[in-house]
Structure 1
Protein backbone atom coordinates (compact mmCIF):
# COMPACT_ATOMS: atom_id res chain seq x y z
CA UNK A 1 0.00 0.00 0.00
CA UNK A 2 1.24 3.48 -0.82
CA UNK A 3 0.57 6.83 0.81
CA UNK A 4 0.75 10.39 -0.47
CA UNK A 5 3.07 12.97 1.02
CA UNK A 6 0.08 14.65 2.68
CA UNK A 7 -1.08 11.42 4.26
CA UNK A 8 2.40 10.62 5.58
CA UNK A 9 2.75 14.13 6.98
CA UNK A 10 -0.52 13.61 8.88
CA UNK A 11 0.55 10.16 10.14
CA UNK A 12 3.93 11.36 11.36
CA UNK A 13 2.94 14.78 12.69
CA UNK A 14 5.40 16.60 10.44
CA UNK A 15 4.96 19.11 7.64
CA UNK A 16 4.99 18.34 3.95
CA UNK A 17 7.93 20.74 3.69
CA UNK A 18 9.88 18.56 6.15
CA UNK A 19 9.30 15.47 4.02
CA UNK A 20 10.38 17.37 0.93
CA UNK A 21 13.53 18.43 2.80
CA UNK A 22 14.30 14.84 3.81
CA UNK A 23 13.88 13.81 0.17
CA UNK A 24 16.14 16.59 -1.11
CA UNK A 25 18.78 15.68 1.49
CA UNK A 26 18.70 12.05 0.39
CA UNK A 27 17.55 10.95 3.80
CA UNK A 28 14.09 9.69 2.85
CA UNK A 29 13.24 9.39 -0.82
CA UNK A 30 9.82 7.83 -1.55
CA UNK A 31 10.00 4.56 -3.43
CA UNK A 32 7.12 5.33 -5.73
CA UNK A 33 5.43 7.98 -7.85
CA UNK A 34 1.86 8.34 -8.96
CA UNK A 35 0.89 8.59 -12.62
CA UNK A 36 0.79 12.34 -12.09
CA UNK A 37 4.32 12.35 -10.67
CA UNK A 38 3.40 12.78 -7.00
CA UNK A 39 5.49 11.14 -4.27
CA UNK A 40 4.20 7.86 -2.90
CA UNK A 41 5.55 6.29 0.30
CA UNK A 42 5.50 2.55 0.99
CA UNK A 43 5.63 0.62 4.26
CA UNK A 44 9.46 0.50 4.20
CA UNK A 45 9.54 4.28 3.74
CA UNK A 46 7.30 4.75 6.78
CA UNK A 47 9.54 2.50 8.85
CA UNK A 48 12.56 4.54 7.80
CA UNK A 49 10.72 7.77 8.64
CA UNK A 50 10.01 6.40 12.13
CA UNK A 51 13.73 5.83 12.60
CA UNK A 52 14.55 9.34 11.40
CA UNK A 53 12.02 10.93 13.74
CA UNK A 54 13.26 8.80 16.64
CA UNK A 55 16.83 10.00 16.18
CA UNK A 56 15.67 13.59 15.63
CA UNK A 57 13.80 13.46 18.93
CA UNK A 58 17.06 12.43 20.60
CA UNK A 59 18.76 15.49 19.17
CA UNK A 60 20.79 13.94 16.35
CA UNK A 61 21.57 16.10 13.33
CA UNK A 62 20.40 15.03 9.87
CA UNK A 63 24.03 14.29 8.95
CA UNK A 64 24.40 11.99 11.97
CA UNK A 65 21.13 10.23 11.17
CA UNK A 66 22.21 9.69 7.57
CA UNK A 67 25.46 8.10 8.79
CA UNK A 68 23.58 5.79 11.15
CA UNK A 69 21.05 4.70 8.55
CA UNK A 70 23.75 3.96 6.00
CA UNK A 71 25.16 1.26 8.28
CA UNK A 72 22.87 0.86 11.31
CA UNK A 73 24.60 -2.16 12.79
CA UNK A 74 27.99 -0.43 12.85
CA UNK A 75 26.84 3.02 14.00
CA UNK A 76 23.55 2.95 15.90
CA UNK A 77 24.69 1.52 19.24
CA UNK A 78 27.81 3.67 19.43
CA UNK A 79 25.88 6.83 18.58
CA UNK A 80 23.08 6.01 21.01
CA UNK A 81 25.48 5.41 23.88
CA UNK A 82 27.25 8.71 23.19
CA UNK A 83 23.92 10.52 23.01
CA UNK A 84 22.79 8.88 26.26
CA UNK A 85 25.86 10.23 28.02
CA UNK A 86 25.25 13.71 26.61
CA UNK A 87 21.59 13.66 27.61
CA UNK A 88 22.39 12.45 31.12
CA UNK A 89 24.90 15.27 31.58
CA UNK A 90 22.42 17.78 30.19
CA UNK A 91 19.66 16.51 32.48
CA UNK A 92 21.93 16.92 35.51
CA UNK A 93 22.87 20.43 34.42
CA UNK A 94 19.25 21.42 33.82
CA UNK A 95 18.21 20.06 37.20
CA UNK A 96 20.84 22.24 38.87
CA UNK A 97 19.75 25.27 36.87
CA UNK A 98 16.13 24.55 37.77
CA UNK A 99 17.10 24.62 41.45
CA UNK A 100 18.90 27.92 40.92
CA UNK A 101 15.86 29.34 39.14
CA UNK A 102 13.59 28.15 41.96
CA UNK A 103 15.73 29.91 44.55
CA UNK A 104 15.90 33.04 42.39
CA UNK A 105 12.12 33.05 42.17
CA UNK A 106 11.88 32.76 45.95
CA UNK A 107 14.27 35.69 46.36
CA UNK A 108 12.34 37.77 43.83
CA UNK A 109 9.06 36.99 45.56
CA UNK A 110 10.23 37.79 49.07
CA UNK A 111 13.22 40.04 48.48
CA UNK A 112 13.62 43.78 48.41
CA UNK A 113 12.75 45.51 45.17
CA UNK A 114 15.04 48.46 44.53
CA UNK A 115 14.95 50.99 41.75
CA UNK A 116 18.25 51.64 39.93
CA UNK A 117 18.71 54.85 41.92
CA UNK A 118 17.97 53.11 45.23
CA UNK A 119 20.29 50.23 44.30
CA UNK A 120 23.14 52.67 43.68
CA UNK A 121 22.39 54.52 46.91
CA UNK A 122 22.46 51.29 48.91
CA UNK A 123 25.18 49.25 47.16
CA UNK A 124 27.30 51.96 45.58
CA UNK A 125 29.98 50.38 43.39
CA UNK A 126 29.39 46.90 44.74
CA UNK A 127 27.88 44.85 41.92
CA UNK A 128 26.63 41.27 41.84
CA UNK A 129 28.04 39.23 38.96
CA UNK A 130 25.22 36.93 37.78
CA UNK A 131 27.63 34.25 36.52
CA UNK A 132 29.40 34.17 39.90
CA UNK A 133 26.09 34.10 41.78
CA UNK A 134 24.92 31.17 39.65
CA UNK A 135 28.17 29.25 40.15
CA UNK A 136 28.06 29.92 43.87
CA UNK A 137 24.47 28.69 44.01
CA UNK A 138 25.43 25.48 42.24
CA UNK A 139 28.56 25.02 44.35
CA UNK A 140 26.88 25.56 47.71
CA UNK A 141 23.37 24.33 46.84
CA UNK A 142 23.50 21.64 49.53
CA UNK A 143 25.05 23.86 52.19
CA UNK A 144 22.74 24.72 55.08
CA UNK A 145 24.74 27.90 55.67
CA UNK A 146 24.27 29.04 52.08
CA UNK A 147 20.53 28.38 52.21
CA UNK A 148 20.28 30.32 55.45
CA UNK A 149 22.26 33.22 53.98
CA UNK A 150 19.99 33.40 50.92
CA UNK A 151 16.84 33.24 53.06
CA UNK A 152 18.03 35.97 55.42
CA UNK A 153 19.20 38.15 52.54
CA UNK A 154 15.78 37.82 50.93
CA UNK A 155 14.12 38.89 54.19
CA UNK A 156 16.18 42.08 54.60
CA UNK A 157 14.31 45.35 54.24
CA UNK A 158 15.65 48.35 52.37
CA UNK A 159 16.66 49.84 55.68
CA UNK A 160 18.49 46.62 56.61
CA UNK A 161 20.48 46.81 53.37
CA UNK A 162 21.30 50.47 53.94
CA UNK A 163 22.52 49.71 57.45
CA UNK A 164 24.64 46.67 56.57
CA UNK A 165 26.13 48.30 53.46
CA UNK A 166 26.89 51.46 55.44
CA UNK A 167 28.81 49.42 57.99
CA UNK A 168 30.55 47.51 55.19
CA UNK A 169 31.65 50.79 53.61
CA UNK A 170 33.14 52.02 56.89
CA UNK A 171 34.89 48.69 57.44
CA UNK A 172 36.28 48.78 53.92
CA UNK A 173 37.80 52.21 54.53
CA UNK A 174 39.52 50.85 57.64
CA UNK A 175 40.84 47.84 55.70
CA UNK A 176 42.27 50.05 52.95
CA UNK A 177 43.87 52.33 55.52
CA UNK A 178 45.53 49.39 57.31
CA UNK A 179 46.81 48.00 54.01
CA UNK A 180 48.07 51.37 52.74
CA UNK A 181 49.83 52.05 56.05
CA UNK A 182 51.70 48.77 55.84
CA UNK A 183 50.04 47.03 58.77
CA UNK A 184 51.09 43.34 58.74
CA UNK A 185 48.37 40.93 57.64
CA UNK A 186 48.89 38.88 60.81
CA UNK A 187 49.02 41.92 63.05
CA UNK A 188 46.43 42.88 65.64
CA UNK A 189 44.79 45.56 63.50
CA UNK A 190 44.37 43.36 60.41
CA UNK A 191 43.12 40.42 62.45
CA UNK A 192 40.58 42.65 64.21
CA UNK A 193 39.32 43.78 60.82
CA UNK A 194 39.06 40.15 59.72
CA UNK A 195 37.11 39.36 62.87
CA UNK A 196 34.78 42.27 62.21
CA UNK A 197 34.15 40.90 58.72
CA UNK A 198 33.37 37.46 60.14
CA UNK A 199 30.92 38.91 62.66
CA UNK A 200 29.32 41.01 59.91
CA UNK A 201 28.55 37.84 57.95
CA UNK A 202 27.14 36.21 61.08
CA UNK A 203 25.07 39.29 61.93
CA UNK A 204 23.44 39.69 58.52
CA UNK A 205 23.61 36.36 56.71
CA UNK A 206 24.67 33.13 58.41
CA UNK A 207 26.80 31.85 61.26
CA UNK A 208 30.43 31.98 60.19
CA UNK A 209 32.84 29.88 62.28
CA UNK A 210 36.57 30.46 61.66
CA UNK A 211 37.00 27.50 59.32
CA UNK A 212 34.13 28.68 57.12
CA UNK A 213 35.62 32.18 57.15
CA UNK A 214 38.89 30.70 55.86
CA UNK A 215 37.08 29.14 52.89
CA UNK A 216 35.35 32.44 52.10
CA UNK A 217 38.70 34.25 52.21
CA UNK A 218 40.30 31.65 49.95
CA UNK A 219 37.65 32.54 47.35
CA UNK A 220 38.80 36.17 47.50
CA UNK A 221 42.14 35.08 46.07
CA UNK A 222 40.83 32.39 43.74
CA UNK A 223 38.03 34.42 42.12
CA UNK A 224 38.17 38.22 41.59
CA UNK A 225 34.36 38.26 41.39
CA UNK A 226 34.16 37.12 45.01
CA UNK A 227 36.50 39.84 46.26
CA UNK A 228 34.62 42.45 44.18
CA UNK A 229 31.64 41.84 46.51
CA UNK A 230 33.81 43.09 49.37
CA UNK A 231 35.99 45.73 47.71
CA UNK A 232 34.91 47.16 44.33
CA UNK A 233 37.60 47.01 41.63
CA UNK A 234 38.05 50.80 41.61
CA UNK A 235 39.21 50.66 45.25
CA UNK A 236 41.35 47.54 45.06
CA UNK A 237 45.14 47.54 45.27
CA UNK A 238 47.58 44.90 44.04
CA UNK A 239 47.96 42.34 46.81
CA UNK A 240 44.87 43.45 48.74
CA UNK A 241 42.94 40.19 48.25
CA UNK A 242 45.85 38.01 49.49
CA UNK A 243 46.33 40.47 52.38
CA UNK A 244 42.70 40.05 53.44
CA UNK A 245 42.94 36.27 53.02
CA UNK A 246 46.05 36.09 55.22
CA UNK A 247 44.41 38.29 57.84
CA UNK A 248 41.38 35.97 57.94
CA UNK A 249 43.60 32.91 58.30
CA UNK A 250 45.62 34.59 61.05
CA UNK A 251 42.44 35.58 62.89
CA UNK A 252 41.03 32.07 62.52
CA UNK A 253 44.25 30.70 63.99
CA UNK A 254 43.91 33.14 66.88
CA UNK A 255 40.49 31.66 67.65
CA UNK A 256 41.36 28.01 67.13
CA UNK A 257 44.93 27.94 68.38
CA UNK A 258 46.19 27.42 64.82
CA UNK A 259 44.09 24.30 64.30
CA UNK A 260 41.41 23.82 61.68
CA UNK A 261 37.85 23.10 62.65
CA UNK A 262 38.17 19.47 61.53
CA UNK A 263 41.19 18.98 63.79
CA UNK A 264 39.28 20.33 66.76
CA UNK A 265 36.43 17.94 66.15
CA UNK A 266 38.66 14.85 66.28
Structure 2
Protein backbone atom coordinates (compact mmCIF):
# COMPACT_ATOMS: atom_id res chain seq x y z
CA UNK A 1 0.00 0.00 0.00
CA UNK A 2 1.46 3.37 -1.03
CA UNK A 3 0.66 6.87 0.25
CA UNK A 4 -1.66 7.58 -2.70
CA UNK A 5 -3.69 4.43 -2.15
CA UNK A 6 -6.66 4.41 0.21
CA UNK A 7 -8.80 1.75 1.80
CA UNK A 8 -12.56 1.83 1.30
CA UNK A 9 -13.04 3.51 4.69
CA UNK A 10 -10.38 6.13 3.99
CA UNK A 11 -11.81 6.87 0.54
CA UNK A 12 -15.33 7.19 1.94
CA UNK A 13 -14.13 9.64 4.58
CA UNK A 14 -12.26 11.76 2.03
CA UNK A 15 -15.21 11.91 -0.36
CA UNK A 16 -17.87 12.46 2.29
CA UNK A 17 -19.87 9.36 1.41
CA UNK A 18 -20.53 6.10 3.22
CA UNK A 19 -18.65 2.86 2.82
CA UNK A 20 -21.95 1.29 1.82
CA UNK A 21 -22.23 3.79 -1.04
CA UNK A 22 -18.77 2.90 -2.32
CA UNK A 23 -19.61 -0.79 -2.14
CA UNK A 24 -22.78 -0.11 -4.13
CA UNK A 25 -20.90 1.85 -6.81
CA UNK A 26 -18.38 -0.97 -6.96
CA UNK A 27 -21.14 -3.57 -7.43
CA UNK A 28 -22.72 -1.44 -10.17
CA UNK A 29 -19.39 -1.18 -11.98
CA UNK A 30 -19.37 2.57 -11.62
CA UNK A 31 -16.16 2.99 -9.62
CA UNK A 32 -14.04 0.10 -8.44
CA UNK A 33 -10.78 -0.01 -6.45
CA UNK A 34 -8.10 -1.21 -8.83
CA UNK A 35 -5.23 -2.04 -6.45
CA UNK A 36 -4.70 -4.51 -3.64
CA UNK A 37 -2.61 -4.43 -0.50
CA UNK A 38 -0.10 -7.14 0.42
CA UNK A 39 -2.80 -8.64 2.60
CA UNK A 40 -5.22 -8.73 -0.31
CA UNK A 41 -7.41 -5.74 0.67
CA UNK A 42 -8.75 -3.71 -2.23
CA UNK A 43 -7.39 -0.17 -2.49
CA UNK A 44 -8.34 2.94 -4.39
CA UNK A 45 -5.57 4.53 -6.45
CA UNK A 46 -5.38 8.22 -7.29
CA UNK A 47 -6.97 7.51 -10.68
CA UNK A 48 -9.79 5.68 -8.89
CA UNK A 49 -10.27 8.63 -6.56
CA UNK A 50 -10.35 11.07 -9.48
CA UNK A 51 -13.15 9.00 -11.03
CA UNK A 52 -14.97 8.83 -7.70
CA UNK A 53 -14.80 12.60 -7.31
CA UNK A 54 -16.50 12.98 -10.71
CA UNK A 55 -19.15 10.47 -9.66
CA UNK A 56 -19.82 12.47 -6.49
CA UNK A 57 -20.15 15.70 -8.46
CA UNK A 58 -22.56 14.18 -10.99
CA UNK A 59 -24.62 12.58 -8.22
CA UNK A 60 -24.91 15.92 -6.45
CA UNK A 61 -26.19 17.34 -9.74
CA UNK A 62 -28.92 14.74 -9.67
CA UNK A 63 -27.79 12.39 -12.42
CA UNK A 64 -28.65 8.72 -12.17
CA UNK A 65 -26.00 6.03 -12.02
CA UNK A 66 -26.61 4.89 -15.61
CA UNK A 67 -26.20 8.43 -16.90
CA UNK A 68 -23.02 8.90 -14.87
CA UNK A 69 -21.60 5.65 -16.19
CA UNK A 70 -22.31 6.82 -19.71
CA UNK A 71 -20.65 10.18 -19.13
CA UNK A 72 -17.56 8.50 -17.72
CA UNK A 73 -17.22 5.60 -20.13
CA UNK A 74 -19.19 6.23 -23.34
CA UNK A 75 -17.08 8.28 -25.79
CA UNK A 76 -20.17 8.95 -27.93
CA UNK A 77 -22.14 10.47 -25.08
CA UNK A 78 -22.36 14.27 -25.20
CA UNK A 79 -21.61 15.51 -21.69
CA UNK A 80 -22.83 19.04 -22.38
CA UNK A 81 -26.13 17.79 -23.77
CA UNK A 82 -26.60 15.51 -20.77
CA UNK A 83 -25.90 18.38 -18.39
CA UNK A 84 -28.29 20.68 -20.28
CA UNK A 85 -30.99 18.04 -19.92
CA UNK A 86 -30.26 17.68 -16.23
CA UNK A 87 -30.36 21.45 -15.85
CA UNK A 88 -33.81 21.58 -17.45
CA UNK A 89 -35.04 18.82 -15.15
CA UNK A 90 -33.61 20.64 -12.14
CA UNK A 91 -35.36 23.86 -13.12
CA UNK A 92 -38.63 21.96 -13.40
CA UNK A 93 -38.11 20.45 -9.94
CA UNK A 94 -37.34 23.89 -8.53
CA UNK A 95 -40.54 25.22 -10.09
CA UNK A 96 -42.59 22.39 -8.57
CA UNK A 97 -40.96 22.93 -5.18
CA UNK A 98 -41.71 26.66 -5.37
CA UNK A 99 -45.35 25.84 -6.11
CA UNK A 100 -45.37 23.41 -3.20
CA UNK A 101 -43.85 26.04 -0.92
CA UNK A 102 -46.51 28.55 -1.96
CA UNK A 103 -49.23 25.97 -1.31
CA UNK A 104 -47.77 25.24 2.11
CA UNK A 105 -47.68 28.95 2.97
CA UNK A 106 -51.31 29.27 1.86
CA UNK A 107 -52.30 26.25 3.92
CA UNK A 108 -50.60 27.61 7.03
CA UNK A 109 -52.22 31.01 6.57
CA UNK A 110 -55.64 29.45 5.96
CA UNK A 111 -55.31 27.39 9.15
CA UNK A 112 -54.41 30.56 11.04
CA UNK A 113 -57.04 32.95 9.69
CA UNK A 114 -59.42 31.34 7.21
CA UNK A 115 -60.03 33.10 3.87
CA UNK A 116 -56.80 34.22 2.21
CA UNK A 117 -58.16 37.69 1.61
CA UNK A 118 -57.47 41.03 3.24
CA UNK A 119 -60.21 42.51 5.41
CA UNK A 120 -61.11 44.95 2.65
CA UNK A 121 -61.13 42.21 0.02
CA UNK A 122 -63.28 40.01 2.24
CA UNK A 123 -65.96 42.69 2.41
CA UNK A 124 -65.69 43.26 -1.32
CA UNK A 125 -65.97 39.56 -2.20
CA UNK A 126 -68.11 38.23 0.66
CA UNK A 127 -70.48 41.18 0.96
CA UNK A 128 -70.82 44.24 3.16
CA UNK A 129 -72.55 42.15 5.82
CA UNK A 130 -69.44 40.04 6.24
CA UNK A 131 -67.44 40.61 9.41
CA UNK A 132 -63.68 39.99 8.86
CA UNK A 133 -63.44 39.08 12.55
CA UNK A 134 -65.66 36.03 12.09
CA UNK A 135 -62.92 33.66 10.83
CA UNK A 136 -60.74 34.42 13.86
CA UNK A 137 -63.70 33.88 16.16
CA UNK A 138 -64.48 30.60 14.39
CA UNK A 139 -60.87 29.45 14.74
CA UNK A 140 -60.90 30.26 18.45
CA UNK A 141 -64.07 28.23 18.82
CA UNK A 142 -63.45 25.31 16.45
CA UNK A 143 -59.75 25.51 15.56
CA UNK A 144 -58.94 22.16 17.15
CA UNK A 145 -61.59 20.25 15.18
CA UNK A 146 -61.25 18.18 12.03
CA UNK A 147 -63.87 20.40 10.40
CA UNK A 148 -61.75 23.52 10.84
CA UNK A 149 -58.80 21.72 9.25
CA UNK A 150 -61.00 20.72 6.31
CA UNK A 151 -62.31 24.27 6.05
CA UNK A 152 -58.76 25.65 6.06
CA UNK A 153 -57.58 23.20 3.40
CA UNK A 154 -60.42 24.21 1.11
CA UNK A 155 -59.98 27.89 1.91
CA UNK A 156 -56.31 27.67 0.92
CA UNK A 157 -57.27 26.57 -2.59
CA UNK A 158 -60.31 28.84 -3.04
CA UNK A 159 -59.85 31.83 -5.33
CA UNK A 160 -61.65 35.17 -4.83
CA UNK A 161 -63.97 34.24 -7.71
CA UNK A 162 -64.86 30.98 -5.97
CA UNK A 163 -65.50 32.83 -2.71
CA UNK A 164 -67.72 35.27 -4.60
CA UNK A 165 -69.63 32.39 -6.17
CA UNK A 166 -70.14 30.78 -2.77
CA UNK A 167 -71.36 34.11 -1.40
CA UNK A 168 -73.90 34.43 -4.23
CA UNK A 169 -75.27 30.96 -3.48
CA UNK A 170 -75.47 31.80 0.24
CA UNK A 171 -77.28 35.08 -0.38
CA UNK A 172 -79.70 33.34 -2.75
CA UNK A 173 -80.43 30.69 -0.12
CA UNK A 174 -81.03 33.33 2.55
CA UNK A 175 -83.36 35.20 0.19
CA UNK A 176 -85.25 31.95 -0.31
CA UNK A 177 -85.46 31.44 3.46
CA UNK A 178 -87.08 34.85 3.79
CA UNK A 179 -89.40 34.21 0.86
CA UNK A 180 -90.47 30.89 2.34
CA UNK A 181 -91.37 32.51 5.66
CA UNK A 182 -93.32 35.21 3.81
CA UNK A 183 -95.15 32.50 1.85
CA UNK A 184 -96.18 30.78 5.07
CA UNK A 185 -93.82 27.81 4.90
CA UNK A 186 -93.57 26.05 8.24
CA UNK A 187 -90.77 23.82 9.58
CA UNK A 188 -91.30 20.27 8.41
CA UNK A 189 -93.18 21.01 5.19
CA UNK A 190 -91.81 20.23 1.73
CA UNK A 191 -90.53 23.74 1.02
CA UNK A 192 -88.76 24.04 4.38
CA UNK A 193 -87.19 20.59 4.02
CA UNK A 194 -85.87 21.42 0.55
CA UNK A 195 -84.30 24.61 1.87
CA UNK A 196 -82.70 22.77 4.79
CA UNK A 197 -81.18 20.25 2.38
CA UNK A 198 -79.87 23.07 0.18
CA UNK A 199 -78.33 24.62 3.28
CA UNK A 200 -76.61 21.36 4.22
CA UNK A 201 -75.20 20.82 0.73
CA UNK A 202 -74.05 24.43 0.43
CA UNK A 203 -72.38 24.37 3.84
CA UNK A 204 -70.68 21.09 2.91
CA UNK A 205 -68.58 23.08 0.46
CA UNK A 206 -66.74 24.34 3.56
CA UNK A 207 -66.48 20.89 5.15
CA UNK A 208 -68.63 17.73 5.09
CA UNK A 209 -71.74 18.55 7.12
CA UNK A 210 -73.78 15.68 8.51
CA UNK A 211 -77.43 16.15 9.49
CA UNK A 212 -76.50 15.79 13.15
CA UNK A 213 -73.91 18.54 12.76
CA UNK A 214 -76.48 20.65 10.94
CA UNK A 215 -78.75 20.37 14.00
CA UNK A 216 -75.89 21.67 16.13
CA UNK A 217 -75.45 24.59 13.74
CA UNK A 218 -79.16 25.32 13.97
CA UNK A 219 -78.84 25.65 17.73
CA UNK A 220 -75.96 28.09 17.26
CA UNK A 221 -77.95 30.14 14.75
CA UNK A 222 -80.57 30.82 17.40
CA UNK A 223 -78.44 30.97 20.56
CA UNK A 224 -75.38 32.87 19.33
CA UNK A 225 -76.07 36.64 19.40
CA UNK A 226 -74.11 37.33 16.18
CA UNK A 227 -75.80 34.60 14.17
CA UNK A 228 -79.24 35.38 15.58
CA UNK A 229 -78.81 39.07 14.78
CA UNK A 230 -77.77 38.24 11.22
CA UNK A 231 -80.76 36.03 10.46
CA UNK A 232 -83.30 38.13 12.37
CA UNK A 233 -82.13 41.20 10.47
CA UNK A 234 -83.15 39.40 7.27
CA UNK A 235 -86.55 38.61 8.76
CA UNK A 236 -87.72 38.80 12.39
CA UNK A 237 -87.72 35.33 13.90
CA UNK A 238 -85.80 33.73 11.01
CA UNK A 239 -83.09 32.34 13.33
CA UNK A 240 -85.70 30.41 15.32
CA UNK A 241 -87.53 29.32 12.14
CA UNK A 242 -84.32 28.00 10.62
CA UNK A 243 -83.39 26.10 13.77
CA UNK A 244 -86.86 24.52 13.91
CA UNK A 245 -86.79 23.71 10.18
CA UNK A 246 -83.43 21.95 10.59
CA UNK A 247 -84.80 20.00 13.56
CA UNK A 248 -87.89 18.84 11.65
CA UNK A 249 -85.76 17.76 8.69
CA UNK A 250 -83.53 15.81 11.08
CA UNK A 251 -86.55 14.01 12.54
CA UNK A 252 -87.60 13.06 9.02
CA UNK A 253 -84.23 11.27 8.71
CA UNK A 254 -84.55 9.48 12.05
CA UNK A 255 -82.44 11.91 14.10
CA UNK A 256 -83.53 13.19 17.50
CA UNK A 257 -82.54 16.90 17.56
CA UNK A 258 -82.40 16.85 21.35
CA UNK A 259 -79.56 14.31 21.36
CA UNK A 260 -77.80 15.26 18.11
CA UNK A 261 -74.05 15.83 18.51
CA UNK A 262 -71.23 17.23 16.41
CA UNK A 263 -70.31 14.12 14.46
State the TM-score, normalized to the length of structure 2: 0.51
The total of aligned residue pairs comes to 156
Q: Superposition pairs for residues 83-94 of structure 1, below 5 Å?
A: none
Q: CA deviation at 1:109?
A: 8.8
Question: Counterparts of 1:109 and 1:146 in 2: how far apart (Å)?
Answer: 11
SS at match of 1:172: helix
Residues 1:220 and 1:250: Cα distance change in structure 2 (over 3 Å): same
Contact 2:119 / 2:132 at 8 angstroms: preserved in 1? no
Question: Counterparts of 1:220 and 1:129 in 2: how far apart (Å)?
Answer: 18
2:187 pairs with 1:189: no
Question: Counterparts of 1:223 and 1:169 in 2: how far apart (Å)?
Answer: 20
State the TM-score, normalized to the length of structure 1: 0.50
Residues 1:236 and 1:155: Cα distance change in structure 2 (over 3 Å): same
Partner of 1:113: 117
Contact 1:221 / 1:242 at 8 angstroms: preserved in 2? yes
Partner of 2:174: 172
Partner of 1:198: 200
Question: Counterparts of 2:123 and 2:135 in 1: how far apart (Å)?
Answer: 19
Contact 1:217 / 1:244 at 8 angstroms: preserved in 2? yes
Contact 1:127 / 1:228 at 8 angstroms: preserved in 2? no
The partner residue of 1:127 within 121, 127, 130 is 130
Partner of 2:149: 147
Question: Counterparts of 2:141 and 2:113 in 1: how far apart (Å)?
Answer: 23
Contact 2:247 / 2:257 at 8 angstroms: preserved in 1? no
Larger Rg: 2
Question: Counterparts of 2:113 and 2:137 in 1: how far apart (Å)?
Answer: 21
Q: CA deviation at 1:186?
A: 1.8
Stretches of structure 1 lacking an aligned partner (at least 5 in a row): 1-102
The partner residue of 1:156 within 151, 155, 158 is 158
For the aligned residue pairs, the C-alpha RMSD in angstroms reads: 3.3
Q: CA deviation at 1:133?
A: 4.2
Partner of 2:34: none
Contact 1:217 / 1:245 at 8 angstroms: preserved in 2? yes
Q: CA deviation at 1:164?
A: 0.7
Question: Counterparts of 1:245 and 1:216 in 2: how far apart (Å)?
Answer: 8
Question: Counterparts of 2:248 and 2:180 in 1: how far apart (Å)?
Answer: 15
Question: Counterparts of 2:158 and 2:229 in 1: how far apart (Å)?
Answer: 21
Q: CA deviation at 1:137?
A: 2.1
| Structure with larger RCO (C-alpha < 8 A, sep 6+) | 1
